[in-house]
Structures are given as structure tokens and as C-alpha cells.
Amino acid sequence: EVQLVESGGGLVQPGKSLRLSCAASGFTFTTYWTHWVRQAPGKGLVWVSRIRNDGIETNYADSVKGRFTISRDNAKNTVYLQLNSLTAEDTAVYYCGRVPMAAGGMGIDHWGQGTLVTVSS
């Protein structure tokens, strides 16, 4: 069974940092891109970042570029999202999802259940 499990969310003060993890199982991790998408409370989905299967290519939304860093450890089947200089506008549920390398424009075919990040003093 395909599983993506996010962790690392929690309450953090403005200006601080947090690292999210996305642990994958049940499929060949190295044949997929991994994306992060966030959803503020009561709001819509917003794409955040993606990383290629080899970890070399990464892309970011303008709203997080320079503050967030995506990385992956293929030996651990895990993708990370480092969140720095957090503001209240970063408060959201963060989802990870996979996209097949063979069809990189296909869309996110499996999603995790999300991890909540709350930025507040």
C-alpha cells in the first residue's frame, strides 16, 4: 500500500524554524518527484515546492523562495522541507505528495494526511 506520512509540524514562534518530514513506503520512491502543498485554515491549496527523484532539481513558489529548502534522503525514503523565518502567513497544513517521473506533468496521484504548522507568539 502506498503511504506518505508527514511529521514535524507544531507550534512555532515567528522568525523561528521547523523541519518537516515526508516518509514514503509501499512504492519505488526513486521513481517519483515529491511535492509539498499547503493549505491555510479555511483556505485553498497552495503549491510550495518540488524535488526530483535524484534530489538535484528543486523548484519553489515565489512566496517561500529563499526561506524554505526541500531535500531528500533516498536511503531513508524521506523528503524534508526546512522552513525558516516563519511568519503567521505560513500557518497551514502541509501535505506531501508524489508525481511519477515518467509523467512529470501528470499531477499528484497520492497525498499524505498532512501536518499542521502554526506560527504564533
Interacting residue ranges for another protein, rule: CB under 8 A: 35, 37, 44-47, 50, 59-63, 95, 103, 105-114
Closest distance of CB 87 from another protein, Å: 18
- Judged by beta carbon, residue 14 or residue 51, the one nearer another protein is 51
Burial (0-12, 13-18, 19+ Cβ within 10 Å), 60: middle
Q: Which residues touch 45 (CB under 8 Å, ≥6 apart)?
A: 37, 38, 39
Q: Which is nearer to another protein, 57 or 73 (CB)?
A: 57
Measured from the CB atom, the residue of 18 and 48 that comes closer to another protein is 48
Three-state DSSP at 62 gives coil
